[in-house]
Structure 1
Amino acid sequence: MMKAQKDNLFSLVKSLTKSEKRQFKLYVGRLGVNSDSKFLKLFNLFDKAKEYNEASILKSGIVKKQQIANVKAHLYRQILISLKLNPSHQDVRLQIREQLDFASILYHKGLYKQSLKILDKAKDLAIANEEKNIAFEIIEFEKIIEAQYITRSISTRADELVIQAKEISALNVIASKLSNLSLQLYSIILKTGYVKNEEEGRLVTEYFNKRLPKFDIRKLGFREKLWFYQAHLWYSFFLQDFLNCYKHASKWVDLFDQNPNMIYLNPVFFLKGNNYLLESIYFIRNKPKFILKLTEFQTTVSDPKFPKGENVATLVFLYTNFHSINKYFIDGSFTEGLALIPQIEKELIPFSNKIDEHHKMVFYFKFASMHFGAGNNKECIAYLDKIISNKTLSMREDLLCFSRVLNLIAHYEAGLDYHIEALLRSTYKFLIKMNDLHEVQLEMMKFIRGLQYIYPHEIKDAFKKLLLTLKSFEDHPYERRAFLYLDIISWLESKIDKKPIAQVINEKYLEKYT
């Protein structure tokens, strides 16, 4: 536990910009006694250090071992206070909280009318910016003052406060239920991926309907609608209903278009909404619309007025690059997309401490798939090995499973069949363990195992037979998910027609959309 606290402090110091460091030194330097303080010396030591080392702190003589915990805790608090005072971190929420603090001070001094006046303005600001939790807190404070002291400010004051409290409380309950449902669905899909069978589909539908609150959507505000669309989006993703994903993601993004001020107050939700909109268009395979929305997204986030900050910058990096890669998968233009891989890997380095392992592995799966599509099977295997060899990885089970299936195919394509049997056994065991051994994977594994017993002149017929079998699963509501990760159908067609897989995918795309 202590190690995490030390790392947290060091990471906080390292995350500061030059202006934030200058602001901190000005803040602590306002009192002359701080100029030679232990916590400021510790800050300077951390600022210069490349990595955290407690031994070097003790060796510096700044603090004794018994003092280090207290000095570090004090430094952490002083940095946070300094950041709070920095204009770049001043948003509407902080402004409302500040007004609430001022009102509390006036209340304790017995200046009740002044306190109520500030609370009333803060409440209006909170409601206008959809900060209804803070608005409810303000109303409850107003009720305390009105009940405890007869201010006689307005004759109908008590009735107004009661009505306001009921209305905002009801909306907060709806928002809380919808946000809970959305978070629960998100956590499940992160762990398991899409619904695998009819029983899972039934359970997800029951789970969703049971937890969906009853309300009139016309009476909902921005915040409640946001959670409503998000919950429905995740439910649709679960069922691989990508048209409904597109519908709810579009409504999510439209909500921000109708309330542009909310983009700057809730940039993370704006970014996520656009991410899911692009993802749903990608699954629908509409490249012109995809490029249009990706261009609009890139234009918005590159605007100097768009909110800045480490969290926002990380999400912009993730979503921009994920979808820049996806663009080439839609029509099979893999070779064109290869130049992105070294560029993204280079840009990943500064974000290494901000991006979790799951998202890094998603990048590796996309890199591997890009190389496979371009015919670079050994490069594909190298990226897949980064996923398969990561024993501590916590990511979607379906991605872990299909990494192994693609690994098998890439080994076959690369002619590295001397240990295919061992790969088959380990993949089979993994799929059984993950409860993910479905018909598509099973047929693929049976086929690859049987290749060693097939004469060269029989291979084409074997490919045709497997293609006919897998075609029956292409529109299956649960088996088709295999083709979302790996276009096995196009791979088989490329083997039969002796064409590159990229050409097969491109011809199918042009036939469908031209």
Structure 2
Amino acid sequence: MMSNRFTDTLFQLIQSLEKAEKRNFKLYIKRSSGNEDLKIIELFDALDKLTEYDETVLLKKLPSIKKPQLSNIKVHLYKQLLSSLRLLKSTGSIDLQLNEQLDYARILYNKGLYVQSLKILEKLKEVAKTHYKFNFLTQVISWEKKIEALHITRSMQNRGEQLSMEAVEVNNRVDNVARMSNLALRLYSWYIKNGHARNEKDEKDVKNFLSDNLPPGAHFQTGFYERLYLYQSYCWYAFIRQDFLMYYRYAQKWVDIFNEQPLMIKVETGYYIKGMHNLLNAHFDLRNYQGFENVLKAFEAFSTTELAMHHDNHRIQTFVYISASKINQHFMLGTFSEGLKIVKGIEEKLQEYSLYIDNHRLLVFNYKIANLYFGAAKYGISIDYLQKIINGNVEMRNDLQCYARLLHLMAHYELGNFDIIESLIKSVYRFMAKMENLTVVEEAMFKFLRNSFKLSRQKLKPELEKFLQSIKGLEKNRFQTRSFAYLDIISWVESKVYQKPLSTIIENKYLQQKKRIYISG
């Protein structure tokens, strides 16, 4: 669960500040304010020293501020902090720069300097077009139309007709982008709530949703944002349906449009980071070992650039996605024990970034770390991490809730806790059935587990071999691959049949594929 110590919005903001930002704020206040702002400095310093927000403790540290005054002073401090940050960060954000210039155009207009205002607006239009900022263009054109309608500027003949045509064109672009971004967001929300498609009904639902909401001619759009949201939509669509080849193709397209237009990496850094994350996931799902390694190296190199480090959000997102990918790489290679060495560092960073990390991300990390411990045969610790998910928010990521319970069951099986296995099987089976999460693979799994702990060692091996053959036949079935994406059940059963550690089984698969690629190459 996320910490409750960051509940006050002003306290959150101050805790998020870096040393340079705090120093800049103090200088800003000295330059722009008088003695009346001494109280907000006192409040700032007091909040900065608190480890958690407690109003009673805060007021004791501020004898000059009475309780009835506190609310207004907090509001004033919050506004001043945002103003100082806006000045500090404006050079690193095209949106802030555009808005600043638009403010200048408004000031000149209000001074009666219409032609000067129009000159700024004209320059703004070119910058906004270069960066595909169509929402902003609507504001600029609106101001140009207002000036032309209210004043005789003699700036150009047929100006009204030209501005009207520009407004129609820009509005059409904005409408297309809005529809495409809505589609991408809703498909992503579908995945966050439900996970992968569980059956033909889910498959049909998501197909119908895409066809009903895809704007006409979406595939023929050439604009950056139209293509970006189209590729995002198909990424989520393919990922939900577990069409991992399609997922890879569209994740690659997503990253490629940024590589085609490097300027947009600076404008939409967050989307570039998310695209790299999805491309890594796609390589992971397809077990493209070399492709995964190449993209991870490129992503790590990007994470050290000034652009990636400039904003808290970008720095934290790259940390989250690179950390998850490093764990995934250990899953691919079977190096579970090696992977455990990075867990402490990841958890320390998650704690440091607790203000920013949402419950969904924590849920995913707990599941990945539990898998690392399971693969390293540290089943008791794996259970501890799984309990954090099982006892957490059931409404979030139904699929992970289900597979956490299944892995929890498998860990108890490995520990030989047969006295509770039967009740656990019934409990997990009921939960997964209720969530409509049972596939043929899980049904076979429950059947095997239910019978296996009653069998002698001699009789167990033939049952294991039979179980292995039955689930290997399902490996290519798209509705069953969801089970293998969350739990490498086949490798686990193989470890039992061949009496080898799970890590050895997975490592051998990696080495065999590497050898095949080398021979074919």
TM-score, with length taken from structure 1? 0.95
- 2:95 partner amino acid: R
Gaps of 5+ in 1: none
**CA deviations over 1:125-150 (Å, ceiling 9, x no partner):** 11111111001111111111112222
Task: Check conservation: 2:425, 2:450, Cα contact below 8 A.
Answer: yes
**CA deviations over 1:432-481 (Å, ceiling 9, x no partner):** 33221232222212221222332232111111222222223222221221
Query: 1:356 & 1:386 partners in 2: Cα distance?
Result: 14
Query: 2:261 & 2:250 partners in 1: Cα distance?
Result: 17
**CA deviations over 1:218-275 (Å, ceiling 9, x no partner):** 5522122111111111111111111111111111111111111111121111100000
1:228 counterpart (227, 230, 236): 230
Q: Could you tell me which residue of structure 2 aligns to residue 203 of structure 1?
A: 205
Pairwise CA distance, 1:410: 1.1
Q: Could you tell me which residue of structure 2 aligns to residue 384 of structure 1?
A: 386
Query: 1:250 & 1:417 partners in 2: Cα distance?
Result: 47
Query: 1:230 & 1:163 partners in 2: Cα distance?
Result: 30
Q: Could you tell me which residue of structure 2 aligns to residue 92 of structure 1?
A: 94
Residue correspondence of structure 1 range 365-444 to structure 2 within 5 A:
365-390=367-392, 392=393, 394-444=395-445
Q: Could you tell me which residue of structure 2 aligns to residue 248 of structure 1?
A: 250
Residue correspondence of structure 1 range 218-297 to structure 2 within 5 A:
219-297=221-299
Judging changes above 3 Å, is the alpha-carbon distance between structure 1 residues 490 and 306 closer, same or farther for their aligned structure 2 residues?
closer
Residue correspondence of structure 1 range 111-150 to structure 2 within 5 A:
111-150=113-152
Query: 1:496 & 1:299 partners in 2: Cα distance?
Result: 42
Q: Could you tell me which residue of structure 2 aligns to residue 466 of structure 1?
A: 467
Query: 1:36 & 1:506 partners in 2: Cα distance?
Result: 63
Task: Check conservation: 2:145, 2:160, Cα contact below 8 A.
Answer: yes
Pairwise CA distance, 1:217: 4.8
Q: Could you tell me which residue of structure 1 aligns to residue 518 of structure 2?
A: none
Query: 2:272 & 2:361 partners in 1: Cα distance?
Result: 19
- 1:81 partner amino acid: S
Q: Could you tell me which residue of structure 1 aligns to residue 476 of structure 2?
A: 475
Query: 2:500 & 2:5 partners in 1: Cα distance?
Result: 53
- 2:81 partner amino acid: I
Judging changes above 3 Å, is the alpha-carbon distance between structure 1 residues 6 and 438 closer, same or farther for their aligned structure 2 residues?
closer
Tell me if 1:326 matches 2:318. no
Judging changes above 3 Å, is the alpha-carbon distance between structure 1 residues 141 and 73 closer, same or farther for their aligned structure 2 residues?
same
Q: Could you tell me which residue of structure 2 aligns to residue 71 of structure 1?
A: 73
Query: 2:438 & 2:220 partners in 1: Cα distance?
Result: 45
Residue correspondence of structure 1 range 51-62 to structure 2 within 5 A:
51-59=52-60, 60-62=62-64
SS in 1 for 2:396: coil
Query: Which region of structure 1 is more displaced relative to structure 2, 16-25 or 232-241?
Result: 16-25
Judging changes above 3 Å, is the alpha-carbon distance between structure 1 residues 422 and 166 closer, same or farther for their aligned structure 2 residues?
same
Query: 2:458 & 2:322 partners in 1: Cα distance?
Result: 46
Pairwise CA distance, 1:487: 1.1
User: Aligned Cα RMSD in Å?
Assistant: 1.9
SS in 1 for 2:112: coil
**Higher relative contact order (Cα pairs below 8 Å, separated by 6+ residues):** 2
Judging changes above 3 Å, is the alpha-carbon distance between structure 1 residues 187 and 4 closer, same or farther for their aligned structure 2 residues?
farther
Query: Which region of structure 1 is more displaced relative to structure 2, 488-497 or 54-63?
Result: 54-63
Q: Could you tell me which residue of structure 1 aligns to residue 44 of structure 2?
A: 43
Query: 1:307 & 1:264 partners in 2: Cα distance?
Result: 12
Tell me if 1:314 matches 2:316. yes
Percent of aligned positions that are identical: 40
Residue correspondence of structure 1 range 182-201 to structure 2 within 5 A:
182-201=184-203
SS in 2 for 1:276: helix
Query: 1:26 & 1:342 partners in 2: Cα distance?
Result: 38
Gaps of 5+ in 2: 516-521
- 2:109 partner amino acid: Y
Query: 1:27 & 1:379 partners in 2: Cα distance?
Result: 50
Pairwise CA distance, 1:96: 0.9
Query: Which region of structure 1 is more displaced relative to structure 2, 102-111 or 504-513?
Result: 504-513
SS in 1 for 2:196: coil
- 2:432 partner amino acid: L
Pairwise CA distance, 1:36: 5.8
Query: Which region of structure 1 is more displaced relative to structure 2, 195-204 or 357-366?
Result: 357-366
SS in 2 for 1:86: helix
Tell me if 1:506 matches 2:507. yes
**CA deviations over 1:376-425 (Å, ceiling 9, x no partner):** 222222221222122x3553111110111111111111112221122223
SS in 2 for 1:406: helix
Q: Could you tell me which residue of structure 1 aligns to residue 450 of structure 2?
A: 449
Q: Could you tell me which residue of structure 1 aligns to residue 109 of structure 2?
A: 107
Pairwise CA distance, 1:100: 1.0
Query: 1:171 & 1:513 partners in 2: Cα distance?
Result: 47
Task: Check conservation: 2:59, 2:65, Cα contact below 8 A.
Answer: yes
Task: Check conservation: 2:91, 2:97, Cα contact below 8 A.
Answer: no
Q: Which runs of 4+ in 1 moved over 6 A?
A: 3-6
Query: 1:234 & 1:319 partners in 2: Cα distance?
Result: 17
Q: Could you tell me which residue of structure 1 aligns to residue 355 of structure 2?
A: 353
Pairwise CA distance, 1:365: 1.1
Query: 1:118 & 1:405 partners in 2: Cα distance?
Result: 62
Pairwise CA distance, 1:305: 4.8
Query: 2:22 & 2:125 partners in 1: Cα distance?
Result: 34
Task: Check conservation: 1:357, 1:394, Cα contact below 8 A.
Answer: no
Pairwise CA distance, 1:37: 2.9
SS in 2 for 1:67: helix
Q: Could you tell me which residue of structure 2 aligns to residue 180 of structure 1?
A: 182
Task: Check conservation: 1:28, 1:34, Cα contact below 8 A.
Answer: no
**CA deviations over 1:315-353 (Å, ceiling 9, x no partner):** 011011111111121232223322122222233221122
Query: 2:42 & 2:7 partners in 1: Cα distance?
Result: 16
Judging changes above 3 Å, is the alpha-carbon distance between structure 1 residues 106 and 92 closer, same or farther for their aligned structure 2 residues?
same
Task: Check conservation: 2:309, 2:315, Cα contact below 8 A.
Answer: no
**CA deviations over 1:30-81 (Å, ceiling 9, x no partner):** 2563366322211111112221110123333232222222111111111101
Pairwise CA distance, 1:512: 3.4
- 1:142 partner amino acid: E
State the aligned residue count: 511
Task: Check conservation: 2:373, 2:379, Cα contact below 8 A.
Answer: yes
SS in 1 for 2:128: helix
Pairwise CA distance, 1:192: 0.6
Query: 1:457 & 1:254 partners in 2: Cα distance?
Result: 55
